[in-house]
Amino acid sequence: MSVLNDLQKWYASNCDGEWQEDNGVEIGTLDNPGWSVAIDLNETNLEGKEFRPVENHLSEDSWIVCRVEENRFRGYGDPSRLEEILGIFIDWAKSQNDDWLRPPPPMSEEELQKYEDEQLFASLADEVESEPCRHEGCSRNRIWNSVMCREHHFEMVTKRPAPKRAV
């Protein structure tokens, strides 16, 4: 099976009516010259999987670099390396799952609520220095556009406990 055919199958397996609206595969060129590949891993069965970076600089004209950053596979290489970059991605994808084309199961209602709560909480504005939260007994500062701190503002708006902050 060809690398391009496998990439097409992987992409199609993740297209569910929503994923492809914000995610996808980008192949471009570089001015040094070379290739650039970016493949979104969000909401795929590769999200969060470990990838060992590949870096091989044989000469100024022969090089390749592949890594995963911010939930994206990123590959770069000289003009002769596009197929190799795609092959590194496909080999990694196949090594991570028995059924490498199966998309992840949909989130449960609880998982979806947790995800949405975390997104909302993270989007709340920064604290205003030296202006305390007006919730009784709170020692944190209020956030912009509120008289409450981030946690109390979230709880007031959603009527649910604020998500736990990562330490």
11 SS3 class: helix
- Tell if the pTM clears 0.75, that is, is over it: no
Tell me the HSE value of 36 on the side-chain side, using a 13 A CA sphere.
Answer: 8
* pLDDT tens by residue, 23-77: 999 999 999 999 999 999 999 999 999 999 999 998 889 999 999 999 999 999 9
* pLDDT tens by residue, 62-116: 999 999 999 999 999 999 999 999 999 999 999 998 888 888 778 789 988 988 8
Tell me the HSE value of 77 on the side-chain side, using a 13 A CA sphere.
Answer: 24
Task: Please give the single-letter amino acid code of residue 12.
Answer: A
Instruction: Kindly state the DSSP code that residue 81 receives in the 8-state scheme.
Output: -
Q: DSSP assignment of 58-120, as one string?
A: EETTEEEEEEEETTEEEEEE-TT-HHHHHHHHHHHHHHH-TTTTPPPPPPPHHHHHHHHHHHH
